[in-house]
Copies of this chain bind each other. A is one copy, B any other.
């Protein structure tokens, strides 16, 4: 069983070439040549997405943006555009790498390997920890069966914790990655959001403080 990669590439020749190289390296590749809206089902169990930005129909950036609403799968962007602002935009939008065309397939394969040798824990389905359940694609949450309303930041904090149940997530990481990264917000701000979250979760509160480190969703001590 090998890792699954989705390649979104309209240039059939280049696409076939990339597929060939990645297959030879032992990966299972699905080639999509149409720029259509991504749907969650297509990305279940996928370890990596390689996305060409220059698509005729739906732009690559739109695909990336939409994909990120429901999935954290690593995305490598391919593009002929080699200027910094394009790269910065794609990376800001949530891509993990940006390769400029033309490139040698050997480099692509190595970058894929480098990416996949690190464990990635993207989850596409609903996240559940104890009595709390999050649906990333709908951005809805329930606690003890009852729906609760979360703001963007609250949702993202809780999702970040629940993606790695039991693990301690540092305050710095949450501040840098959940709050607006361009303004450096204080850790007090994070406290406030967590405080609100806990109140909304009520008796289903699953957020533990890890003193001196950060927070954790779900029991860490008992295992």
Contacts and interface: CB of A to CB of B under 8 A. Distances in A.
Given A91-B114, A167-B137, A181-B113, A149 B221 contact: yes
Contact of A152 (B97, B114, B117, B211): B211
A107 interface: yes
A3 B107 CA distance: 29
Contacts of A56: none
Nearest to A166: B138
Q: How many copies does the complex hold?
A: 2
A151 interface: yes
B176 A26 contact: yes
Q: Which size class do A's interface residues fall under? A: 35 or more
Contact of A88 (B84, B106, B181, B211): B106
Given A151-B211, A221-B149, A168 B138 contact: yes
Interface of A: 1-3, 25-26, 74, 84, 87-88, 91-92, 95-97, 103-104, 106-107, 110-111, 113-121, 123, 135, 137-140, 147, 149, 151-152, 163-164, 166-169, 171-173, 176-177, 181, 184, 210-213, 216, 220-223
